[in-house]
């Protein structure tokens, strides 16, 4: 940790058993056994700290930041979003980042004078405006800004994203770990900042727009939740959007910046390339707001566009975008249930539990832990499979929901209806039925984008499940 004081906080998944000698948790689920009891508040071994961080069992709370805001340059790409740029620059000012250099990149906007006027109106002498005469896309705009950065750290902050006070204070301490190359805040949707593409005159249209705003405020694709995490493919937080991230400038340059050949998903691609040999962190204590597209067509189009990025990303990162990652045992158990053979599914689950007991034989209570892990794992696998049915596989699943065998029809209908209803919460601003409709529409639009990308790039990789995942890593 480069000599910086650090303490650990447990991930919500962590369970400490056998008197503190065995730790179970993380993502993917891991079991670690130690010769002596482990106390997260008093770990002196750097190798143990590294192991817990890299398993996702614990997260760092670093005392002192090795950089201050003057050692960060903020790159703000913008294309025609004059209002969004104004909000972003105002947010940077309110966040108290005085002395921080800002590079605004006009990525071929159709009204460059309006962009320039917005920058001038901000009245910040630390802002430098440059322009791409042709639109290079978000990756190209960020790369253009990166060329002018001469500070150790660079923050990429999209126009329309508004940092809250203290955002850098929560992110910068993570760079006390020399292996951390990038840290991302929580990017949450703000109902008060809604992008309207046309005025809704009908009461029904206004109700739909209001429902979308309420839904997005709680289920935004950019919002990765309120728990800290390591960032890596195949984990709970597999990627972070570069709508807002802070990174080491030399690390971004080392990997060649953003891949401008990607029309979408260039941010995920950059994150996964960095994650190959560096640590990346998600820190929700830092918060950044973003706008909401509440017009149904624009909202669904954005979800569709997100889906189209899966195919090109899969061609670059085979371990990246897959519809579901579960074990073969869990897949077999749920296939049996879907086929109307619940007893066979139970038998498969029982066999996998018995094998897990052997794997966890070093624990004091291997049977109880194995039953618990197997039960939780199979329930989680069912939820993941239902998610894949609604998103990636729905063009195939829907015909079977109409003409397939009755058990299969019931399973597919349940996969569509039950999870969306379970995610509804009182106070969400919409009723359960509307929430379920929006959730299903969200998934269908994304899945349509996935299939469109697969056809365009001639690959089925984003549709193929990964069944190589084991339930746990063995005790060690």
DSSP tag of 335: H
DSSP tag of 467: -
Q: Residue 189, Cβ neighbours under 10 Å: how many?
A: 22
Give the pLDDT score at 200. Answer: 56
Q: Residue 222, Cβ neighbours under 10 Å: how many?
A: 18
Give the pLDDT score at 476. Answer: 42
How, if at all, do strands 127-132 and 229-230 pair?
A: unpaired
CA distances to 37, 39, 357, 404 from 364, rounded to whole Å, are 14, 19, 11, 47
Q: Tell me: the pLDDT tens digits for 332-386?
A: 999 999 999 999 999 999 999 999 998 888 888 899 989 999 999 999 999 999 9
Give the pLDDT score at 474. Answer: 44
Give the pLDDT score at 471. Answer: 46
Backbone torsion region of residue 322, taken as left when φ is above 0, otherwise alpha when ψ lies between -120 and 50, otherwise beta: beta
Q: Residue 456, Cβ neighbours under 10 Å: how many?
A: 11
Q: Tell me: the pLDDT tens digits for 39-49?
A: 888 787 888 88
The tokens describing 451, both together, are 């299939």
Q: Residue 400, Cβ neighbours under 10 Å: how many?
A: 16
CATH of domain 69-293: 3.90.550.10
d(CA 336, CA 346): 9
The answer to whether 274 touches 180, Cβ cutoff 8 Å, is no
Cα–Cα nearest to 241, from 218, 217, 259, 268: 268
Evaluated on CA atoms 451, 452, 455, 459, the torsion sign reads negative
Cα–Cα nearest to 466, from 233, 300, 308: 233
CA distances to 68, 69, 273 from 107, rounded to whole Å, are 29, 26, 24
Give the pLDDT score at 279. Answer: 96
Tell me which residue has tokens 């018995």: 354
Evaluated on CA atoms 299, 186, 2, 56, the torsion sign reads negative
The answer to whether 299 touches 438, Cβ cutoff 8 Å, is no
Extract the residue ranges of the chain whose pLDDT is less than 70.
Answer: 1-6, 98, 191-201, 469-476
Give the pLDDT score at 102. Answer: 95
Task: Note if the bond before 236 is cis, omega within 30 degrees.
Answer: no
For CATH 3.90.550.10, list the domain ranges present in the chain: 69-293
pTM over 0.85: yes
**What is the Cα 310 distance to its own chain's centre?**
14
The answer to whether 89 touches 125, Cβ cutoff 8 Å, is no
Contacts of 155 (CB under 8 A, 6+ apart): 72, 73, 74, 75, 168, 244, 245, 246, 247
Cα–Cα nearest to 267, from 222, 302, 236, 303: 222
């Amino acid at each position: 940790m480069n000599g910086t004081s650090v303490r650990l906080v447990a991930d919500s998944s962590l369970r400490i058993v056998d008197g503190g000698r065995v730790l179970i948790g993380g993502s993917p689920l891991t079991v670690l056994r130690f010769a002596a009891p482990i106390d997260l508040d008093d770990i002196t071994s750097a190798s143990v700290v590294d192991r817990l961080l890299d398993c996702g069992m614990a997260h760092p709370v670093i005392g002192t930041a090795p950089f201050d805001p003057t050692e960060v340059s903020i790159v703000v790409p913008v294309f025609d979003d004059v209002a969004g740029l104004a909000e972003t620059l105002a947010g940077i000012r309110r966040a108290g980042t005085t002395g921080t250099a800002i590079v605004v990149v006009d990525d071929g906007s159709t009204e460059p004078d309006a962009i320039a006027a917005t920058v001038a109106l901000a009245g910040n002498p630390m802002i430098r405006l440059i322009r791409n005469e042709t639109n290079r896309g978000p990756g190209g705009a960020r790369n253009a800004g990166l060329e002018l950065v001469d500070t150790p750290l660079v923050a990429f902050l999209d126009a329309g994203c508004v940092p809250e006070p203290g955002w850098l204070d929560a992110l910068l301490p993570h760079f006390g770990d020399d292996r951390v190359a990038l840290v991302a805040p929580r990017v949450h949707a703000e109902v008060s900042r809604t992008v309207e593409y046309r005025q809704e005159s009908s009461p029904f249209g206004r109700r739909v727009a209001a429902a979308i705003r309420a839904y997005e405020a709680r289920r935004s694709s950019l919002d990765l939740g309120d728990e800290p995490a390591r960032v890596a493919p195949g984990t709970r937080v597999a990627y972070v959007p570069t709508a807002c991230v802070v990174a080491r400038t030399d690390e971004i340059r080392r990997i060649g910046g953003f891949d401008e050949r990607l029309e979408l998903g260039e941010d995920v691609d950059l994150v996964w390339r960095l994650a190959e040999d560096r640590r990346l962190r998600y820190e929700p204590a830092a918060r950044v707001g973003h706008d909401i597209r509440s017009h149904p067509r624009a909202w669904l189009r954005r979800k569709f566009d997100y889906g189209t990025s899966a195919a090109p990303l899969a061609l670059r990162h085979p371990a990246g975008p897959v519809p579901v990652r579960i074990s073969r045992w869990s897949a077999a158990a749920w296939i049996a249930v879907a086929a109307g053979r619940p007893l066979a599914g139970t038998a498969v689950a029982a066999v996998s539990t018995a094998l897990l007991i052997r794997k966890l034989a070093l624990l004091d209570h291997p049977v109880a832990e194995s039953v618990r892990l197997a039960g939780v794992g199979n329930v989680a696998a069912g939820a993941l499979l239902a998610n894949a049915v609604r998103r990636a596989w729905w063009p195939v699943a829907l015909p079977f929901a109409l003409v397939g065998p009755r058990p299969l029809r019931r399973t597919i209908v349940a996969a569509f209806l039950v999870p969306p209803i379970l995610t509804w919460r009182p106070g969400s601003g919409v009723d359960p039925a509307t929430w379920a409709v929006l959730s299903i529409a969200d998934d269908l639009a994304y899945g349509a984008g996935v299939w469109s990308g697969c056809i365009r790039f001639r690959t089925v990789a984003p549709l193929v499940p990964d069944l190589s995942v084991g339930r746990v890593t063995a005790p060690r």
